[in-house]
Structure 1
Amino acid sequence: MSKQLSAMSWRKGNGVAGRPWNGAKREYDLFKELTVGVIVVSLLVVAVSAIFSSPDDKSVTLKSWANSQPNDFVVTTNAELGHTSDSAGYGPPYNSTTDASQTIGALDLQSLAGVKIPIDSAKDFVIGPLSTLPNTPAAVSTWKAASSAQQTAWTDAYGKALDTAKGDPAAVASGNYGPVPAITGELLTMAKQGSLDSVLNAGGSFYNFNYTRSMLFLGDSAYFTDLATSLHLTGDQWGMINGIGYYPGQSWLWMFSLFYQIEPFKSLPNADLVIILIVAALTMVLMIVPLIPGLRDLPRLIPIHRLIWKDYYKRR
Structure 2
Amino acid sequence: MKEWAYPDARRFKVKEFDLLKEGTVSLVILTVIVLVIAAFAGAPYRPTVTNADIATKDPVLFEKTALGYIDGSEGIASYGPPYNNGWHGNVTGVQSLSGFSPQTWWGTPYPVNTAKDFVFSPLAKLAAASANTSLQNALNTYQSASYAQQMIWNKNYRNALTKATVKGSQLTVPQGDYGPVQQMMQSELRFAQTGLLSGVLGAETNQGIYRWNVQNDLLFLQGDPLHQIAGKLNMLGEQWGINHDEQTYPGPWWLTPYTFLYQVPPWSTSSSGDQLAAYTVGVLFVLLIFVPWIPGLRSIPRVLPVYKLIWRDWYRMKNKSGGGGGIFGNDNISSQTTRRGGKSHA
Q: TM-score interval w.r.t. the shorter chain?
A: 0.7 to 0.9
Report how far residue 146 of structure 1 moved. 2.6
Query: 1:81–1:32: structure 2 CA closer, same or farther, 3 Å change rule?
Result: closer
Residue in structure 1 matched with residue 321 of structure 2 by the alignment? none
1:127–1:140 contact (8 Å) kept in structure 2: yes
Question: Cα distance 1:258–1:155, how it changes in 2: closer, same or farther (>3 A)?
Answer: same
Show the 5 A alignment for 1:16-165.
26-30=14-18, 33=22, 37-42=26-31, 55-97=44-86, 98-100=90-92, 101-133=94-126, 134=129, 135=131, 137-138=135-136, 139-165=138-164
What secondary structure does 1:266 align onto? coil
Q: Which has the higher helix share?
A: 1
CA distance in structure 2 between the partners assigned to 1:298 and 1:50 by the alignment: 52
Give the deviation of 1:216 after TM superposition: 2.2
Distance 1:126 1:283, change over 3 A: same
Do structure 1's residue 314 and structure 2's residue 315 form an aligned pair? no
Structure 1 or 2: more strand by fraction: 2
The one-letter code of the counterpart of 1:201 is G
Alignment of 1:159-198 (within 5 A): 159-165=158-164, 170-198=171-199
**Residues 179 and 20 (structure 1), Cα distance of their counterparts in 2 relative to 1, 3 Å cut:** farther
Displacement of 1:249 in angstroms is: 1.2
Separation of aligned partners in 2, 1:273 and 1:252: 18
Residues 285-313 of structure 1, C-alpha deviation per residue, up to 9 Å, x if partnerless?
A: 12323432343455577435644878971
Aligned equivalents of 1:216 and 1:309: distance in 2? 57
Residue 58 of structure 1: SS of its match in structure 2? Answer: coil
Alpha carbons 2:79, 2:91 under 8 Å: kept: no
For 2:180, give the aligned amino acid. P
Question: Which residue does the alignment assign to 2:231?
Answer: 229
**Inter-partner Cα distance in structure 2 for 1:262 and 1:53:** 39
TM-score, with normalisation over the residues of structure 2? 0.73
Identify the structure with bigger relative contact order (alpha carbons < 8 Å, sequence gap 6+).
2
1:131 counterpart letter in structure 2 = A
| Larger deviation, residues 178-187 vs 298-307 | 298-307
| TM-score with structure 1 setting the length | 0.79
**CA 1:51–1:230 in 2, change beyond 3 Å: closer, same or farther?**
farther
SS, match of residue 117 in structure 2: helix
Query: Quick one: distance in 2 between partners of 1:190 and 1:153?
Result: 25
Report if the CA contact (8 A) 1:232-1:246 is conserved: no
Q: CA deviation at 1:195?
A: 0.9
Number of equivalent positions: 297
What displacement does 1:85 show? 1.2
Matched residue SS, 1:93: coil
CA RMSD of aligned residues (A): 3.4
Query: In structure 2, do the counterparts of structure 1 residues 44 and 28 end up closer, same or farther at CA, with 3 Å as the change threshold?
Result: farther
CA contact 1:93–1:115 (8 Å) conserved in 2? yes
Deviation of 1:234 after TM superposition, in Å, equals 0.8
Counterpart selection for 2:283 from 281, 284, 288? 281
Identity across matched positions, percent: 31
Counterpart of 2:337 in structure 1 is none
